A and B are shown apart, each in its own frame.
Chain A
Amino acid sequence: MDLIRDHFLNPRNVGDAAQPCFKAQTGSLVCGATTRLSLQVNEDQHITEAKFRAAGCEFLIAALSILTERIIGMSTADAASMGNNGDAIQAELKSDESHSHCIELACDSLLRAIREYSNATRDEWNGDEALICTCFFVSEQTIESEIKKRGLTTVREVTQACNAGGGCGSCQPLIVEILESLA
């Protein structure tokens, strides 16, 4: 049985993660599909539980089933990188262009749930240095020193220099602020 059919007919990880969890709800105005994805993340930033619900086509349901299956045990940074790489999943599912939207929606709901985690972690962080990128644990101080040392001007350059902003993307507005304050 092919991958899509298998995951569509026997979806893994259906439901809601145990509380407290990090949860994202998405909906598409394009195709009308809705999703809910929830994560449990441990102290080492690794995903211990990933659950989803969806009302949508077979590609959306299969993509969410596959994503949740793969990210369990991953760091949030690695999971975010998977969510940022919808093309790879699309290629693996051998989906044609007409379903790229469904797979993007699945990836988007994963990224949103990770952002929920990242934002909460950043708020709760009480280390010595302000934490900006929670996916790759990059502090404000590190980002500032990279910007100054290399004369960086864009978020993309900062990500290339120290990984910050390269995961779920939730800290990119903060990196913009840092860039502006140093400009």
Chain B
Amino acid sequence: MIYLDNNATTRVAPEVLEAMHPYLSSLFGNPSSGHELGRQMKSAIENAREEVALLIGAADPSEIVFTSCGSESDNWAIRGVLANHPDKRHIITTPVEHEAVRNMCRRLEQDGYQVTWLSVDRNGELDLAELSDALRADTALVSIMLANNETGVLFPMNEIGEIIRANSEALFHVDGVQAVGKIPIDLKTAEVDLFALSGHKLHAPQGIGALYIRKGIELPSFIIGGGQEEGRRAGTSAVPNIVGLGAACRLARTDDQHTRISGMRNQLEDRILNNFSNTHLNGIADRTKRLPNTSNISFELIDGQSILARLDHAGICVSTGSACHSATHESSPTLQAMNVPYALAQGSIRFSVGRYNTEDEIETTLRVLPKVIDELAAISPAASGRSA
């Protein structure tokens, strides 16, 4: 199997599994317990917290709170800020956010909040002047992702943070789920108040996330219960997963593989765009403004779902923005917001490379793809077969 769907989830790294293993067998204590076993758990959690802090450049490990997933982190950040500022009823976000932010903001709109949805251009980029204009005295929160999951387009987090600080008292939440482990991040030099991440996007297991909460900000607990995580997030700490996230962050920090990964992505992207007619890159062409591992390419007049299914049969895993693929029959909201024509969005395929891919796998993919595309093009009603 060739796994080119690393933005969806990633394989647990052997180093991560190894680090977790004792905590799934002999080291089974509750970190809240007063005995030695409990203390060992507590210390494992604090080590992991430090690793997370180091990877994202937090000023202090105490700014990291463990959660169950990226969505919980996003939900908590947004709800928490609004609860702290009941008088402020305005939120600014973008239409290309992950569902955990987008659908939360839609819900808040129904609940009477005012939401400004900043627009993106055809390249998937924001107009920062639009952000400055949208900021108001009653803006409680600006929630803008760092990297888009579908196109890999990066938003200028530092610049956005400065604009928000200079023009308002709004807090800035960043959904960093897709970026962590893929690009260098240094939160202590950015005007970011809250930052969500998720373990399974960087070779930790599913079921572990974290929220960075800048020192000085207190969010009301999202889950009501015991006093875990300094009273900030109730629920028995998932020690094995937390240890796994710590190990994954260490791996990403000490052996990021960014150059090798971007090399493979570039090969794949260049050769698809050069060798296939009727292909279009979704997202800005400038690679310094995109994640180093992501390529979102549209194959004109071919349905992405059928490309996905054929590649799947050949043992290659990718994803698509085709409407048929989603349960709601909605084509990719990100591509819609970018005004990518419907016929192109339908034929979009996302390739997301990861540290366990090899150059051979990229070559194999490039060898299989032409047959898949040619055969599907031959079936397409747009094909000129025997005249009808």
B305 in contact with A36 (CB, 8 Å):
no
How distant is the Cα of A60 from the Cα of B329 in the complex, in angstroms? 14
Residues of B within 8 A of A102 (CB): 324
A32 in contact with B324 (CB, 8 Å):
yes
B386 in contact with A56 (CB, 8 Å):
no
Residues of A within 8 A of B322 (CB): 31-32, 57
Q: Which of A7-15, A70-78, A131-139, A169-177 makes up part of the contact surface?
A: A7-15
B284 interfacial by beta-carbon distance below 8 Å = no
Given contacts A15-B385, A21-B388, A33-B303, A55 and B329 within 8 Å (CB-CB):
no
What would be 25 A-B contacts, judged by CB atoms less than 8 Å apart? A8-B306, A8-B309, A11-B379, A14-B379, A14-B385, A15-B386, A16-B386, A17-B388, A19-B387, A25-B381, A30-B329, A31-B323, A32-B323, A32-B331, A34-B380, A35-B381, A53-B383, A54-B379, A55-B306, A55-B346, A55-B376, A57-B309, A57-B325, A58-B306, A58-B309
- The residue on A at minimum CB distance from B377 is A55
B303 in contact with A53 (CB, 8 Å):
no
- The residue on A at minimum CB distance from B312 is A58
Q: Which 5 A-B pairs have the closest CB atoms?
A: A16-B388, A57-B305, A58-B309, A36-B381, A57-B324
Encoded as 1 (CB less than 8 Å from any A CB) or 0, chain B from 294 to 319 comes to 00000001110110011001000000
B343 interfacial by beta-carbon distance below 8 Å = yes
CB A97 to nearest CB in B, in angstroms, measures 9
Which A residues form the contact surface with B (CB < 8 A)? Answer: 5, 8-9, 11, 14-19, 21, 23, 25, 30-36, 38, 53-58, 60-61, 98, 101-102
- The residue on B at minimum CB distance from A56 is B303
A16 in contact with B387 (CB, 8 Å):
yes
Which B residues form the contact surface with A (CB < 8 A)? Answer: 301-303, 305-306, 309-310, 313, 322-325, 327, 329, 331, 342-343, 345-346, 376, 378-383, 385-388
How distant is the Cα of A9 from the Cα of B376 in the complex, in angstroms? 10
How distant is the Cα of A34 from the Cα of B386 in the complex, in angstroms? 18
Query: Total A-B residue pairs with C-beta atoms closer than 8 Å?
Result: 85
How distant is the Cα of A16 from the Cα of B305 in the complex, in angstroms? 23
How distant is the Cα of A56 from the Cα of B381 in the complex, in angstroms? 10
- The residue on A at minimum CB distance from B383 is A53
How distant is the Cα of A98 from the Cα of B325 in the complex, in angstroms? 9
B324 in contact with A55 (CB, 8 Å):
no
Query: Which single member of B310, B329, B343, B386 contacts A101 (CB below 8 Å)?
Result: B329
CB B380 to nearest CB in A, in angstroms, measures 4
B387 in contact with A32 (CB, 8 Å):
no
B386 in contact with A55 (CB, 8 Å):
no
CB A60 to nearest CB in B, in angstroms, measures 8
CB B118 to nearest CB in A, in angstroms, measures 26
- The residue on A at minimum CB distance from B325 is A57
